[in-house]
Amino acid sequence: MLIKFFIKPRKGVLDPQGRAVAENLRSLGFSTVKDVKVGKYIEVYVQETDREKAKQMAVEMAKKSLVNEIIEDYEFEIVEEQG
């Protein structure tokens, strides 16, 4: 199975990289850009066939290693690999 993690700064947390991207886009003529959040996308492949176990693993991985819950929010998606 594949676990896809989508991690971004929490609302209200300073995101200097996002601010720089937003300013750059506005300078390129995209004047309607209001804000940008720059986050992380992580793919983790696991040898697990039980979807519930994979979900439990994903939560543990996020809390123990991948996400700083003080400043980041996250979501994940479980995808069954084809083949």
Element (H, E) at 21: helix 16-27
Tell me the mean pLDDT in the region 38-66: 97
Helix then strand then coil, in percent of the chain rounded to 5, is 35, 25, 40
Instruction: For the domain covering 2-79, report its CATH number.
Output: 3.30.1280.10
Residue 55: predicted pLDDT: 97
Residue 81: predicted pLDDT: 78
Q: Is the pLDDT of residue 41 over 90?
A: yes
H-only helix segments in 28-80: 51-61
pLDDT tens profile 57-72: 999 999 999 999 999 9
Tell me the mean pLDDT in the region 42-60: 97
pTM as predicted: 0.87
Q: Is the pLDDT of residue 36 over 90?
A: yes
Tell me the mean pLDDT in the region 11-38: 96
